[in-house]
Amino acid sequence: MVISVVRRMVRVLPALLVCMAAGTQAQHAGHGKPQLATGAAFAPDGALWVTGVEHGKLFLQRRPKGAQWEERRLLDNGGETVATNGDNRPKLAFGPRGQVVLSYTRPLAKAYTGEIRLLRSDDGGRSFSAPFTVHEDRQLITHRFESLLFDARGDLYTFWIDKRDAERAWAAHGGDQTVYDGAAIYYNVSTDGGRTFGADTRLADYTCECCRIAVVAEPEHGVAALWRHVFAGSMRDHAFAKVGTGARTSVQRASFDGWVVKACPHHGPGLARAPDGGYHAVWFGERDGRQRARYARLEADGRPQEQVVELPDERADHADVAVAGERVVIVWRSFDGERMRLRAWLSNDGGRRFTLCELATSADENDYPRLAQHGGRIAVIWRTEHEIQVHDLR
């Protein structure tokens, strides 16, 4: 039975603890102008993999469980440019039969256009294919900000922000861009580990243009997605839907901040599945004049429970969330005027009570922190100009 957040009374312990992150390690990232947007994921064997761009080159790096980082590998993607701005970053996903897929957005000739490219491996990442475009549509338009993952059945889902419907509507109305707000979310499915893909399918019209899409696997098959939506009047709250679960897909409003802004905040949400069938969600928005990162429990259909909680940091930036049983981990970065701080909010009772923790600080340029999970292990990966930090959160 889902317990209301109102009854649970989420509260922060009064003391700010400096958490000891078990197994904290760092990998130097080199010199030069930083391109820091980095993807990370655990392989089925517990090894941590990261992918990113350094000096214009796409790289892959692996740290086996209980060992040090291996040498960084440069991948041959034909010299294509990889988008590494904001929520755009290369990403990794692991399938159940030795498959490894690596995705990125390749910018095209026209501003704000792109296509989703994929490299795939059938031998556990020892070798990769040449990059290829995932979606059917090849127009010179927006196909950007992809998210991808394998579901519990081994089907590969790829989601992205797409403007084919907006472009069509604008053209039909003489270029009037008021007839279609924002973009759309499309997805496709591969049942053979990324060799072939099904048709491009529209999930939702009227979505924000530059915010990441949060996706999580459902227990048996299919996935759930959370994204920043454009509701009537350019109200940029969040929406939720399930895909591929066998149930009818419907878009559910998942946040009610009422933030009216006629631009993309470049600030996507985070989503994690709770053991009871609901979800834990984090997002950024403005409510009653307060721009804050917020946390809430969602019901199994994506509807928010009654209480929405601000993160205990008014400068919290680009939060992420992960769940392992009753353990809930929320991480973010926060600028204090001199340095960026990596902080975490930790709960061991399903989100009833949280402890605020300080993990690291940096005066360097840095990426948004992201969480990766393998079974009960949750780690935060934070790339700064000179290192990639990994903090295991026990």
Over the stretch 174-200, which tens digit does the pLDDT of each residue have?
A: 998 889 999 999 999 999 999 999 999
Both tokens of 1, joined, read 């039975």
pLDDT for res 3: 31
Structure tokens at 245: 């679960």
Question: Is residue 272 within 8 Å of 323, Cβ to Cβ?
Answer: yes
Task: Give the pLDDT score at 12.
Answer: 38
- In the prediction, which pLDDT does 330 show? 98
Q: What is the model's pTM?
A: 0.93
Instruction: Identify the pLDDT of residue 32.
Output: 52
In this prediction, residue 305 carries a pLDDT of 87
The confidence score (pLDDT) of residue 2 equals 31
Is residue 308 within 8 A of residue 300, CB to CB? The reply is no
* Of the candidates 94, 72, 125, 273, the residue with the CA atom closest to the CA atom of residue 193: 94
Q: Which whole-number Å values give the CA distances from 197 to 150, 151, 189, 191, 217, in the listed order?
A: 13, 15, 6, 7, 18
pLDDT digits (tens, 9 = 90+) for 236-263: 999 999 999 887 678 999 999 999 998 8
Q: How far is CA 47 from CA 14, 91, 155, in A?
A: 36, 16, 22
Q: What CA–CA distances, in Å, run from 88 to 140, 146, 155, 242, 341?
A: 18, 8, 23, 23, 22
- CA torsion, ordered 34, 38, 43, 47, to nearest 10 deg: 40
- Write the DSSP assignment of 231-262 as a string of letters: BTTTB--EEEEEESSSSPP--EE------B-S
- Residue 130's contacts (CB-CB under 8 Å, 6 or more residues apart) are 76, 77, 78, 119
Give per-10-residue mean pLDDT for the chain (394 aa).
Answer: 33 45 55 82 97 95 92 96 92 96 97 96 96 97 97 97 96 92 97 96 95 96 97 95 85 95 91 95 96 96 91 97 97 96 97 96 95 96 94 89
d(CA 61, CA 340): 25
Please compute, for residue 354, the number of CA atoms within 13 A of its CA located in the half-sphere on the CB side: 21
- The pLDDT value given to residue 248: 65
Cα atoms in the 13 Å half-sphere on the side-chain side of 81: 11
In angstroms, the CA 258 to CA 271 distance is 20
Check residue 263 and give its pLDDT: 85
Residue type at 305 in one-letter notation:
Q
So what's the pLDDT on residue 48? 98
Q: Which two tokens stand for residue 234?
A: 């350019």
**SS3 state at 344:** strand
Q: What is the CATH number of domain 37-324?
A: 2.120.10.10
> What's residue 291's pLDDT?
96
Q: State the pLDDT at residue 33.
A: 65
Tokens 């590969």, residue?
A: 156
Per domain, the residue ranges of the chain are 37-324
Please tell me the predicted confidence (pLDDT) of residue 262: 86
